[in-house]
Structures are given as structure tokens and as C-alpha cells.
Amino acid sequence: MTATAERPEDTQRARESAPDLPPSFFRTVVETANEGIWMIDCEGVTTFANRRMEEMMRLGPGEMLGRHPADFLLPEDLELASAVIARTLGGESNEFEPRFRRGDGAIISTIAGTAPIRDDAGNIVGAVATFTDLTEHKRAEQALLDSEREATRTATLLNQLLESASDAIWMRDVDGIFRIANPAALKVMGAPERQVVGRSMYDVWGDEVGAHLAQEAKQLFANGEPISIEEEMHDAGRGAPTIFLSNKVPIFAADGVPIGILGVSRDITERKADEDALRESRAQLAQQVAELQAAQQREHLLAREVDHRAKNLLAVVQSVVLLTRAETAEELKDSLVGRIQALASAHALLAAARWDGVELSELIAEEMAPFTGSKLPRARFSGPALRLRPAAAQALAMVLHELATNAAKYGALSTHDGRVDIDWRVNGEPEELVLEWLERGCADVTAPSATGFGSRIVLSSIERQLRGRLSQEWPPTGLRCRIAVPIAHIATQPA
């Protein structure tokens, strides 16, 4: 904002009416001010900078004297600052937001107000400006923008997951009101989203089924444990009674107050019909049992193996859901989607290898891909070939996801020039895998003041599931993590 220049007679009149204060008073006010104060003469040469200004610039006493503001300004702000200085020395007051490079090389953002300095005759002899440090404010604004973008990306990913899932996925709150229902669930209910989401289970299923579900929900909240049940319900999409395998998980807030129930229901009608047909076939073809016993046994073993793998993965997902705390369903989505995706990636690799194990290098590449992109080498990893058992692969997938998430939020992957080096080797007797995670390109990294849920996942996965050891250091350049795990416990065969 531009102000009208003071007239000499107004300045003189103000001086005459001011109280008679000693010069030391004004010196004290200037030196103890919370804002930086910077004075220049008509040539733009610094004649005074108070203690706060020198602290903001990370310079010692007197180091700014005799220097021009251009010595400190960022090149892209020089034109604006030159125009402001010219207008101020012409008698105007101004406000602008210059950026400076401090004595330690860092960049500081400020907001400044300028005014001309006049002598007793009213002649302009220089300019003065007050500066307020906006660096943390700007950083907070950027962090908020980054958080909002990440929340949008996560919500989009979860919505895509819900939209494409063939299983019916839904959530009801503590009052039995549906808050989430994916297309597969809406098809079963035979109603559009507007007639399901926001409506109670009594409205959707009727009084009899609604009362049964209310009693079931009461028991789930009381026990605090998920259940897996087979239930028969009318499928509007099929137009007939349908048998579902439903997994239902009670969700609680951080203070233990119930939030709602998350459910995943899969149509197993055809599988049940196949089982019934198989039993009937056995009775009718008693004479051919011996010829048919081996084929049926193989089929049975394959079905058991598939069920076993699916239940193991579901158990891991349920444990993540149970241990994650959130105030609302939306916060729960944000917390879960990344971890579930990490497990899904490991599961896809294992499924492609027919659950015969997965190479460590392939697992690292898969889990790091969402965080490093494909254009620039943000992550480098190397080590010998090592094939992991399925359980070990899932545990390491969670560890890598949590480390990468932390790096993307606070560490090397949160900066433009940062990167992560991942190296592993096999040594010792008995042999053990030693994996080292090293972040580079950070600045002023410090150890976290508290242990979050992600850190607990990392520690639990390594010590309990993999029977290994974890050590972490936080040098200023980035996190350094070392993981040591017995080879005999994780590898499909000796290294």
C-alpha cells in the first residue's frame, strides 16, 4: 500500500509535541524489537541493522553494515526490491515479500514494510524497513498443500479400489446407518447409492434382518474381535437367495469409542453348490471312487491351499485394521489404503510365482515404485539374489512401505534432490541377511520425539515375524536403518 509523504511542517509539529525521551530509549526499543529493522542511505548502503535482523540473516554483529540489499536478495526478487527501494526513497511507504539467502546458505521468506527517513529539514536521507520471518509460515502452507494433495490421491485410490472390487464392501456406523457401499454391494441390495448410503439397515433390509444385524453389531462391539461367517441373504442382482462369506470388523476410535462396522462379503453360492454336487457324485459313483480319489484329493488340497493363503492375507489386513485408530471413517481410509496396497503388491508377486517365494530385489522394486516414480532414479538398490518365503515377503513389504512412507513425508523422498540407497548382503555364521536403508539429500533431520504406529509396525515385523534386529540412526543427511534377519527363517533355500 502506498502512503502520502509527510510534509516537513507536520514532522516538525510531531517532534515538538513528542515527550522528551533520551536517545537510549529509542536504541533499546529498536534493539529489543521482535521484527528485524534495516536502514539504508540514499545510495542503498546499509547504515544500521538491529540484532533481530542479524539473527534472521544468520550474520554476526556489524556484518550487514556497508552492504547493499542486493547482496542478500534472491536474483528473482531483485527487480521487485529495486522498485520498492526507489519508491521509498521517493517518499512512499511500501509493503512487499522479499526472500533472502542467509549467511548459512538457507533461504528465508519475509514480509516487509518500508518508509523514508527524513532529516530535520524534511529531506529524505535514507529508508527504513521492518522485516518479519515468514519461513515457517510458508513451510506450513506448503505442507498443508502437500497433505491435501496426498489426501486427494489416497481417496482416489481407495475409491478406485472400491469401484473395481468384485466383493461387496460396505460400512455401517454405530447407529446402523450405511456410510460406504461399493457398486458390488449396491447390486446385492438392489438399490442405487442414494437409497443406501445415509439410510439405516432397517430401511435397506427390513425389520427382521435389521434387528438381527443390530444384535450382531452389539456382540461385535462387545467382543472387539472380527468374525467370519457364512450367511444366506436375498441377492437382488441374482434375484435369488445367495450364500455369502462375510468378514466383519468392528472399528473403534483412539479412545475406544465404537465408530462402526466394516464388512467384506463374497458370493460363495456356486462354490457351495459345487461342494453339494461333489458329495452327490461320490454317493452315485461309489464304484469309481478309487479311480476318482487322487483327482479329488488334489482338488481338495488346492482348495485348502487357496483358502489358507486368502485367510492369511485377510488376517494380516484385519490386524492392520484393528491396530489402526481413527476418529472417522474417512481418516481410517487414509491410514489403511497405503498399507493394504503394500500387502497387495507383495501378494501379486507371490501369486505370479505360484506362492513359491519371491526375489528380494523384485519385492523392493515393487514396493518402492509408488514413491520414486519412473523418470528419475530416486532409489538405488543392490545385493545378491535371495528368494524369500511368502510370510517373510509380506512382513518385509510392510517394513519397506513404512520406511518409504516416512521418507516421502519427512525424509529423502520429500525433497527434490533426495534419494534412498538400499543394499543387502549375507554374512556371518549362522548366516543372516543384513539390509541397510540409507537416505541422502536431507537437511537438519532429527530423531522423532514419539513412536508412531508405522514405527511399531516396522519393529514388530522385524523382531516378532522375522526374528531379527533393527537399529536406526538419524544423522542430519537422513535416516540410516540397519536390519539383520536369520537367513534360515526367511529364505526358501540356503543362500
Where does CATH 3.30.565.10 sit in the chain? 357-495
All residues at 6 or more sequence positions from 43 whose CB lies less than 8 Å from its CB, including other chains: none
| % of the chain with per-residue pLDDT over 70 | 79
Separation CA 18–CA 36 (nearest Å): 25
Separation CA 285–CA 287 (nearest Å): 5
Higher pLDDT, 408 or 6: 408
Contact assessment for residue 479 and residue 440, using Cβ atoms and an 8 Å cutoff: no
Question: Helix, strand, coil: what percent of the chain each, to 5?
Answer: 50, 25, 30
* pLDDT(476) > 90: no
All residues at 6 or more sequence positions from 414 whose CB lies less than 8 Å from its CB, including other chains: 407, 408
Out of 1.10.150.130, 3.40.50.300, 3.40.50.1370, 3.30.565.10, the CATH code matching 357-495 is: 3.30.565.10
Query: What digits encode the pLDDT tens for the residues 41-99?
Result: 999 999 999 999 999 999 999 999 999 999 999 999 999 999 999 999 999 999 999 99
Domain 168-284 is in which class? alpha beta
Query: What digits encode the pLDDT tens for the residues 44-58?
Result: 999 999 999 999 999
Query: What digits encode the pLDDT tens for the residues 431-457?
Result: 999 999 999 988 777 887 767 767 888
Question: Rounded to the nearest 10 degrees, how much is the dihedral formed by the CA atoms of 48, 52, 57, 62?
Answer: 40
Least confident of 17-21, 37-41, 208-212: 17-21
Separation CA 203–CA 209 (nearest Å): 10
In whole numbers, what is the pLDDT of the chain averaged over residues? 81
Count the Cβ atoms, other than its own, within 10 Å of residue 443: 12
Q: Which CATH architecture has domain 8-139?
A: 2-Layer Sandwich (3.30)
Where does CATH 3.30.450.20 sit in the chain? 8-139, 168-284
69 prior amide bond cis, ω within 30: no
In 3D, which of 260, 262, 280 has the Cα closest to residue 272? 280
